[in-house]
Amino acid sequence: MEEASSSSTTVTGCAPSMKTTSCIETPIRNDQNEEGTLIAGCNQADSQTTAFFREIDGARRNTYLGCMIRPIISLPDKRLRAVSKPVEKIDLEVKKLVEDMFETMYDAPGVGLAAIQIGVPLRVVTIDATRGDDEKQPVALINPELTWTSEEKGTMEEGCLSIPEFADEVVRPEKIKARFLNLEGQTVEVEADGLFARVFQHELDHLNGVLFIDHLSKLKRDRVTKKFAKAAKREAVE
């Protein structure tokens, strides 16, 4: 997703007035349950540095810098409609992919990126839902999945790095529960709302070949698709 620009759109595509979801130390359980699953409680807070993100991916925070910026594919590239495959093993290749994804995401700039957006059909997502001068909180999500979504819906403006210079309002659940693996292979379970929840759902859609324009009316979706198809033809001729 896109980060906030000078207008009211963010590159995950959420409006600047939207509060960032972060996790504060008091309500966090950072232990393991009987099944050995890492548990982390998450709720809406201010932009202070959060212990939660350090715990789930802290060991590799400093390795995200100095990596390769990869080109981001855009509509109408057919790869964006592919369903990404689960990661079977978190090896050095996957970890290098994650580092490149963070470098690419920050350069864009964006607050979320799915591996398929750089042409890699694996279920890997990177998110950093911090804003402005707040300390970066990069989170790598391997094989992410939703386990619950609230009945309460919210409407917010979204954009996408793969559909540049276009944004529109999208309705999604306000709160989520999710599960994923971190780079250490630990299972992480989170409850989130705000920006993190919005970005998570946007990026999970990418892994299933769904774009945010699919949540719009057919008329709007067709207009956007035709616009980018024409632009791609012009570039091919040039």
Q: What is the mean pLDDT of the chain?
A: 80
10 located within any domain: no
pLDDT of residue 50: 38
Name which residue leads in pLDDT, 58 or 175. 175
162 located within any domain: yes
12 located within any domain: no
pLDDT of residue 3: 63
Check pLDDT > 80 for residue 6.
Answer: no
pLDDT of residue 24: 24
Domains held by the chain: number: 1
- Rounded alpha-carbon distances, angstroms, from residue 110 to 150, 157, 158, 186, 229: 26, 14, 12, 26, 23
Name which residue leads in pLDDT, 17 or 34. 34
pLDDT of residue 131: 80
14 located within any domain: no
Q: What is the mean pLDDT of residues 125-148?
A: 94
189 located within any domain: yes
4 located within any domain: no
Q: Which residue is it, tokens 């950093």?
A: 128
Q: What's 213's domain CATH number? A: 3.90.45.10
Check pLDDT > 60 for residue 52.
Answer: no
11 located within any domain: no
| pLDDT (tens digit per residue) in 78-130 | 999 999 999 999 999 999 999 999 999 999 999 999 999 999 999 999 999 98
Range of the domain at 202: 21-237
Cα angle 180, 181, 184 (rounded to 5 degrees) comes to 160
pLDDT of residue 28: 28
- Rounded alpha-carbon distances, angstroms, from residue 205 to 5, 40, 80, 201: 22, 23, 10, 6
185 located within any domain: yes
User: Residues with catalytic annotation?
Assistant: 203
